[in-house]
Amino acid sequence: MAEVAKLDVLAIAAHPDDAEITSGGLLIKMVRMGRKVGILDLARGEMGTYGNAHDRAGEAGAAARIMGLAYRGNAEMPDAGIEFRQENKLKIAQVIRDKKPELVVLPHWAQRHPDHLACSRLGYDACFLAGLAKLPLEGEPHRPRKIIYASYYRNNDYSFLVDIGEVFEQKLRAIAAYESQFGDKSWVDDILSRSAPASQVVEAGRKDVFSPGVHIFDLMYSRSRALGQLVGVTFAEAYTVKEHMLIDDPLKMPVRSI
Ligand SMILES: [Zn+2]
């Protein structure tokens, strides 16, 4: 991947595959719009049940190529031990200064995994700190203009949804790059054709990394469909913003009535 000096969009996630699962559709859409898009993973996922740091690094690179990313970095924080402290904020802030994204995508703060919550909070603070001139960071101060929070399927306070129908297959193929986590890639074809009931797919020996019996196959299909049905499209991802939106003409808002 040819690294660029400046990104338009940076997604920050705790583990490799988090960003693909929760915001891969939006990131791919923005790549297709000509935006420079990157992902910063905070840890290598070495504490996961399956795979090891080396395998997961290779898989993260493969997923990045499938998505067309301009950058993928890893802050090398300890997996299952990402802490909300200044040193970690500054690590992220340095990447924000280096890559100068205008938009940052963070995990929503409703989380079960402590790393995900820490990532959400660290990323928010890092966006602010990166703009402070006197902090011990290299490069020019930079503060992203916009922060949005990707749903990790534990919240329903969505501010907007993104139609990911056109990029759904590409998103699934990026997730399927993580073979150590999700088994062989044939589940992508299953999900696209819905030719096999999910129970058969799980029984075929593929791995459950979420709750028992919940394969990524089912999660991606059912969540994306359910979110899409809220706005009348086939597949969607959900995002939340903290700030209020300043509107002049509500008739120009891209809101569908269904
Ligand atoms: Zn994760």
pLDDT digits (tens, 9 = 90+) for 22-71: 999 999 999 999 999 999 999 998 887 777 888 888 999 999 999 999 99
CA of 68 to the centre of ligand 1 (A): 21
Bridge-based pairing of strands 146-150 and 103-107 is parallel
**Residue 17, pLDDT above cutoff 70:** yes
Nearest Cα to 10, choosing from 30, 239, 1?
Answer: 30
CA of 116 to the centre of ligand 1 (A): 6
Nearest Cα to 167, choosing from 213, 115, 228, 212?
Answer: 228
CA of 80 to the centre of ligand 1 (A): 9
Q: Is the pTM of this model over 0.85?
A: yes
Interval 149-183: pLDDT, tens: 999 989 999 999 999 999 999 999 999 999 888 87
Q: CB 205: neighbour CB atoms within 10 A?
A: 8
- All residues with CB under 5 Å from ion ligand 1: 14-15, 18
CA of 114 to the centre of ligand 1 (A): 9
**Residue 214, pLDDT above cutoff 80:** no
Stretch 134-149: mean pLDDT, rounded? 96
What's the confidence (pLDDT) of residue 257? Answer: 66
CA of 15 to the centre of ligand 1 (A): 5
Distances (CA, A) of 221 to 193, 224, 253: 11, 5, 28
CA of 209 to the centre of ligand 1 (A): 10
Distances (CA, A) of 137 to 94, 104, 124, 125, 224: 6, 19, 17, 14, 39
For residues 43 and 77, the answer to whether their CB atoms sit within 8 Å is yes
CA of 151 to the centre of ligand 1 (A): 12
